[in-house]
Structure 1
Amino acid sequence: MKTAVCSALLVAASMIAGIDGAAAQAGAISDDVVKIGVLTDMSGQFSDESGEGSVTAVRMAIEDFGGKVLGKPIELVVADHQNKPDIASGIARKWYDVEHVDMIANLINSSIALSVTQMAKEKNRIAIVNGAGSSRLTNEACTPNSVHYSYDSYALARGTGSALAKAGQKSWFFLTADYAFGHALEADTSAVVKALGGEVVGSTRYPIETFDQSSFLLQAQASKAQVVALAGSGTVLVNAVKSAQDFGIRRGGQTLAGLLVWVTDVKSLGLETAQGLVLTDAFYWDRDDQTRAWSKRFYERMKKMPHMGDAGDYSSTMHYLKAIEAAGTDEAQAVMAKMRELPINDFFATNGRIREDGRMVHDMYVYEVKAPSESKGDWDFYKLREVIPGDQAFRPLRDSLCPLVKKG
């Protein structure tokens, strides 16, 4: 009899604990909503590499997750930072402090990403970077509250720089965008080239809003460097490639290297102009059945194929929501711990993982832009030159300046 009573009490206690646990979990979402903000360039020179595409990708992830997590709704807010760090910081501060945004996504433009990730640390919220590329984000400027997901300047340099240097193209001249990403891309690529026995014979920096590249290209042409490397992005890069064609840089025997080329850039340029460009990418829509299936869905909404930023925005948002579900809360440090713990296996990455420095490690790919005669149809732009395994693509932790990395 006594045993039966004790058993009944244990069952009752277990039921109460279960109810209390469920109630605790249901109440673990702050403000009863998970709010995601896409802070991006909606109207400027990087809008084709982010903008409405990044918003669409994040929205698709929220919809595919079911629109709720732990029984609470997921909301999406969007803002245009206009490529101005002060505007971006003001929006991010208001989102974190007043509107209770839990995670800010995309963050194209490295100067902006560096500022917002530090704010995420200060406010104990989360920032996931897919648009910006400076490797500083997971090196000396790393934070416990941020993730750098799709690519970075180190991986781009490791891919394109080593591919061309190994092919015997050892002398380089840089046309570099004069902001954080351009500087990082030139520095990382220069280090790769020099490590492989190459040399940098010169460089010039252009203001981020410069659209006339004539004087810079003349310097590059006069340098007689084997490789003219474009360390920038957006419409400025597109204009530079077009101008390089007009100046006859390739006809003169120099190789043009786009250190960050988006598939939408190639679409803008056309294969006649872009053919032969060597580039490094984290994602190509036509890589395999999974990438083609997701890209088809994206294309139905956007009428253009996605690039690595779009794919990364979707994948990282899904990973973030899965981490909330696994953690049972949207509290930033609990979610970050789960994001680092859970592997990433989807159309974007196989066995991807987030390191303690915030770097998401995954394979990278070196491509060459096809000649018009090689293309089988619209958006059929790339041929694969090399796959770089994730553990080789990104900066080794032994070389990291991130204070979160345990040495020895």
Structure 2
Amino acid sequence: MKFLATMTAALLAASVLPAAAQVSDGKVKIGILNDQSGVYADFGGKWSYEAAKMAVEDFGGKVLDAPVEVITADHQNKPDVASNIARQWYDTQGVDSIMELTTSSVALAVQGLSKEKKKIDIVTGAATTELTGKQCSPYGFHWAYDTNALAVGTGGALVKAGGDTWFFLTADYAFGYSLEGQTSKFVLSQGGKVLGAVKHPLGNTDYSSFLLQAQSSGAKVIGFANAGLDTANAIKQSAEFGIVAGGQRLAALLFTLSEVHGLGLEAAQGLSLTEGFYWDRDDESRKFAERFFARTKRMPNMIHAGTYSAVTQYLKAIKQAGTDDTEKVAAALHGAKVEDVFARGGTVAKNGRLIYDMYLMEVKKPSESKKPWDYYKVLATVPGDQAYIKPEQSGCPLAAQ
């Protein structure tokens, strides 16, 4: 009898263990690594961490019977700091995947390390197309937007509207170069001209000399190839020089709902921008946004909603693969169909790029806003196959396989 009882217990244990046994360390651990104290703190920051936790909670807190944990850290927009944190997470803290990764230089550095460590990274906060281009990784994914989508959305709309001469204020690092380059290329392809550009340090506070150069260029459009507080401060200071009053138009090439809120409609009205998500798009997005607001006291932008989607799809891929093994989860993510509150009809391409529709927005005038956070008019939908570089043209070797 004792023998039979022992065998029965063993068989029962074996029937319970297989799912959890397929999860390394018996836990799935996700790291949200981003800027939480600098110019991009509202852009993603601790709000992306909340979005990630919200995704885990909505998934049930477990996958394959293993608990899911989310941790976070501030990379201070420094690639070396980010790489050190990521290495520690991977080597000593059992982190399986790192996500968000605001700032292109940081995202490229961490994606390179993740490739070396054979770990999955999903970027929602950085923009450079290099992530799914020449520096792509079999374990790297780019989720919320990129510089090409922003250029096609905002740049294309303004050229069609007569804004055919441009001058750029560009953040002096990889993201700024990429955004200026992609937008310039698109403006030129549509018959427009680029009259000049000037680079400024990340986290700059005085834009006087840069704005004066832009104003004196006579360009119809001044494109801000920067983001976060850099863009907000430049827009505020442009009013002091009467740039818009003088007939020039401002294009915020990467500006989200969070920055519009911080700037206020009085200063932001009339800005053209492109986002991949708007909380007031439909009933589903409004319900999600209300839940997000209840825990953060703000409405989500595309980085927050994109992080929610990335975490959700990562957990779905683990469930589909039946394991958190990197190779098998990456295979499940590549080619995956993404249909959630963030992306409708999305597809993950061979180079790791999520292809989904973007939205061209115009910031409302104060008189047009009917309720809190009612900031955008959706002018047009930019189909995903137009917004993003075709995978086979991206320069990523994986797309040719």
Whether TM exceeds 0.5 here: the answer is yes
Distance 1:314 1:307 in 2: 11
Cα distance 1:30–1:273, how it changes in 2: closer, same or farther (>3 A)?
same
Asked whether the equivalents of residues 221 and 248 of structure 2 are also in contact (C-alpha less than 8 Å), the reply is yes
Equivalent residue runs for 1:130-279 within 5 Å: 130-279=124-273
2:376 to 374, 377, 382: 382
Q: What SS class does the counterpart of residue 404 from structure 1 fall into?
A: helix
Aligned to 1:27: 21
Equivalent residue runs for 1:84-123 within 5 Å: 84-123=78-117
Q: What SS class does the counterpart of residue 400 from structure 2 fall into?
A: coil
User: How far did 1:26 drift?
Assistant: 2.7
Q: What SS class does the counterpart of residue 368 from structure 1 fall into?
A: strand
Cα distance 1:21–1:362, how it changes in 2: closer, same or farther (>3 A)?
farther
User: How far did 1:367 drift?
Assistant: 0.6
Matched AA of 2:45: G
Gaps of 5+ in 2: 1-9
Distance 1:342 1:128 in 2: 14
Summarize deviations over 1:55-83 as a string: whole Å, max 9, x none.
00000011111111101111111111111
Distance 1:18 1:308 in 2: 46
Q: Does 1:345 align with 2:339?
A: yes
User: How far did 1:21 drift?
Assistant: 8.0
Matched AA of 2:346: G
Distance 1:331 1:48 in 2: 33
Q: Does 1:288 align with 2:279?
A: no
User: How far did 1:18 drift?
Assistant: 11
Aligned to 2:7: none
Q: What SS class does the counterpart of residue 405 from structure 1 fall into?
A: helix
Q: What SS class does the counterpart of residue 300 from structure 1 fall into?
A: helix
Distance 2:87 2:149 in 1: 30
User: How far did 1:341 drift?
Assistant: 3.7
Cα distance 1:22–1:144, how it changes in 2: closer, same or farther (>3 A)?
farther
User: How far did 1:252 drift?
Assistant: 0.6
Matched AA of 2:168: F
Summarize deviations over 1:310-366 as a string: whole Å, max 9, x none.
000001100000110110100111011111243111111112111111100100000
Q: Report sequence identity in percent.
A: 50
Aligned to 1:3: none
1:42 to 36, 58, 67: 36
Cα distance 1:42–1:177, how it changes in 2: closer, same or farther (>3 A)?
same
Summarize deviations over 1:42-99 as a string: whole Å, max 9, x none.
1111111111100000000111111111011111111111111111000000111111
Q: What SS class does the counterpart of residue 338 from structure 2 fall into?
A: coil
Distance 1:270 1:341 in 2: 40
Matched AA of 1:321: L
Distance 1:142 1:192 in 2: 23
Q: Does 1:366 align with 2:360?
A: yes
Asked whether the equivalents of residues 392 and 400 of structure 2 are also in contact (C-alpha less than 8 Å), the reply is no
Rg larger in structure: 1
User: How far did 1:20 drift?
Assistant: 6.5
Distance 1:368 1:291 in 2: 19
User: How far did 1:406 drift?
Assistant: 1.1
Q: What SS class does the counterpart of residue 337 from structure 2 fall into?
A: coil
Cα distance 1:87–1:167, how it changes in 2: closer, same or farther (>3 A)?
same
User: How far did 1:385 drift?
Assistant: 1.0
Aligned to 2:70: 76
Q: What SS class does the counterpart of residue 384 from structure 1 fall into?
A: strand
User: How far did 1:19 drift?
Assistant: 8.8
Distance 1:63 1:208 in 2: 35
